[in-house]
Amino acid sequence: MENVLTYNTNINDVHNFTLLLGQSGRKNKSRSLYGEDFDLLAYDPYMATINSAIADRERERTTGGTSTSSLASYFGRIDYNYNERYMLQATVRRDGSDKFGINNKWGVFPSVSAGWNTTNEAFMKDRPDWFNSMKLRASWGVNGNQNIDAFAYASLMDGGQNYYFGTNSNPTMYYGVSGGRLSNPDLKWEESKQTDLGLDLRFLNNALSFTFDYYVKHTEGMLANLPIPGYVGRTAPIANSGKMKNWGSEFDLGYRFAVNDFHFDVKANASYTNTKLIDLGVPQGENSWGGSGAAGVDPFIWARNGMAWPFFNAYRTDGIIQNQAEADAYNSKFGTSAVPGDMRFKDLNGDKVGDGKPNGKIDDKDREMIGRGVPDWTYGLTINAEYKGFDLYVLFQGIIGNEIFDISQRADIPGTNRPSWVLDRWTGENTSYTIPRATSNDTNRNWRASDLYLKKGDYCRLKNIQLGYTLPANVVRIAGIDRLRLYVSAENLLTFTGYKDGFDPEIGEGDQGVDKGIYPQSRTISFGASIAF
């Protein structure tokens, strides 16, 4: 539900005002129901139903749940425009969410923006003909984030904590619950304060355009699970913990022209981003972030005060031990039990309280930042062209400056298919310098989190290309058709990348740069027709 009231006025044809007041409300509700039973009479899975089960009732299981969330908002905005020369906009909104504790359900988020169209100034009247316009922009605002589950502030109980009493031949199951997530009644909105500066330029009768934006964002009260000791026996509460700084730039360049029946339009864009964790909100100043991302590997997605966020925290490798003499020297130096074919790991001593020099041990203190899954640059290129009845659309996209932690590289997981590169593993002296030996007793932990998994993630992809032809109107109207366009298109037709071992470099931000054997983007070629009557 949303209600908006707008008022416009003009003074002396140069002062233009717009006032907007509004109110909105939204409620989301979801329900789920699940049932489980055993010993079905029907063998056909398409005919089987829970009603056909004949197992003892003690084995039956039903569960379900419901989730609701509500958001109420009040907002106002005022726009001022002076003779298309100076523009000013001020906005304030007050949002209330039931996801937060009773003490902090509401948040106030103001913003202000200004623009200066220098083209309409007197000193710009004598500009060259090829220089069409220049506009400067600036803005500041506060945004709120409520991207958490409903009732995130409340204490939860975990079901399924059942226990059997009685004899082994005649047990009785009693349903039980235990304490789950701890509560946080002071949970509140995460707030981000962002400043933007922008420049818009137009040249050559507006055929050539350029836009530049620079932004800095400071986030406080980040919504995150606080780490708690395991002996507490409860799930960590969600809290407003930590501060973050993001900054970057965005560039857009476009050019279009037309010569007789030929029309051409090209647009290129690029964005640079950087992120620095100011304060994680925990005493030690660092912690794992988002789990390990892979079975059997210690957590390696990491957050640390004063560093880019998040990053891969892992060991540096130093080649493979080729013979027994090298193994003896390595073991004597570090007190390990490596054998020929095992990985060497560098002694970096990343202990903050130490002197930063090797200390003769290979342990967690030797882990360091080996890369990031977040790209420095993201870019795209779009081309549109038309000639008489033909039209062409091309889209390229890509990223630069990220690494991929290819966890699908693990060759020690039993019961799985192996990639072809496992044939290049170490099988004897000087047979491999990068892939360790195959063994079922990996006492050296060759496949621990290290740069062995690390790959460059840069790529450029022809994301979409489409060629079409629109038949002349005087031809298709004979068949009673107003417009007929035939086309052929392809998606993910070409990919240029150095990431060869994995399936696809386009992993996505959700996996934070970790390739778990993600299903690759499909290459699709299609033909079609668009008909209008």
- Give the pLDDT confidence of 150-193 residue by residue, as tens digits: 888 888 877 777 778 887 777 787 778 877 888 888 899 999 99
Torsion of CA 288, 303, 142, 215, to 10 degrees: -140
Cβ-contact 493, 478 below 8 angstroms? no
Give the residue-averaged pLDDT of 104-125. 94
The runs of H, that is alpha helices, within 298-392 are: 324-334
Least confident interval from 30-34, 199-203, 351-355, 513-517: 351-355
Give the C-alpha separation, 96 to 109, whole Å: 11
Whether cis (ω within 30° of 0) applies to the bond prior to 472 is: no
Structure confidence at residue 352 (pLDDT): 47
Q: What is the pLDDT of residue 408?
A: 79
Stretch among 179-183, 246-250, 387-391 having the lowest mean pLDDT: 179-183
Tens digits of residue pLDDT in 268-298: 999 999 999 999 888 888 888 765 555 567 8
* 354 vs 391: which has the higher pLDDT: 391
What residues does each domain of the chain span? 2-279, 311-532
Task: Please give the average per-residue pLDDT across 240-265, as a whole number.
Answer: 95
- Percent of the chain beyond pLDDT 90? 58
Higher pLDDT, 239 or 263: 263
Whether the pLDDT of residue 217 is over 70: the answer is yes
pLDDT in tens, 136-155: 999 999 999 999 888 888 88
Which of 508, 397, 371, 519 lies closest to 459, judged by CA?
A: 397
> CB neighbours of 90 closer than 8 A, spacing ≥ 6?
77, 78, 110, 111, 112
- Render pLDDT for 302-328 as a digit per residue (tens, 0 to 9): 999 999 999 999 999 999 999 999 999
pLDDT at 355 over 70: no
Pick the CATH number of 2-279 from 3.30.300.30, 2.40.170.20, 3.40.50.2000, 3.30.310.50: 2.40.170.20
pLDDT at 201 over 70: yes
Report the distance separating Cα 211 and Cα 209, nearest Å.
7
pLDDT per residue over 36-87, tens digit each?
Answer: 777 776 666 666 676 667 677 666 767 777 778 899 999 999 999 999 999 9
3-state secondary structure of 12: coil
Sign of the torsion formed by the C-alpha atoms of 193, 371, 251 and 382? negative
pLDDT value for 230: 73
Residue 294, pLDDT score:
57
Tell me what the pLDDT averaged over the chain comes to.
88
Look at residue 226 and tell me whether its pLDDT is greater than 80: no
Confidence of residue 234 (pLDDT cuts 50, 70, 90): confident
The residues, ordered by sequence, that sit 6+ positions from 397 with a Cβ below 8 Å of its Cβ are 378, 379, 380, 381, 460, 461, 463
Q: In the predicted model, is pLDDT for residue 428 greater than 80?
A: yes
Query: Does 353 have pLDDT greater than 70?
Result: no
pTM of the model: 0.83
Can you give the pLDDT at residue 153? Answer: 86
Q: What is the pLDDT, as a whole number, of residue 354?
A: 47
Per-residue pLDDT at 465: 98
* Residue 211 pLDDT level (bands cut at 50, 70, 90): very high
Residue 510 pLDDT > 80, yes or no?
A: no
For Cα atoms 245, 246, 252, give the angle at the middle one, nearest 5 degrees. 160
DSSP 44: S
Position 5 scores a pLDDT of 96
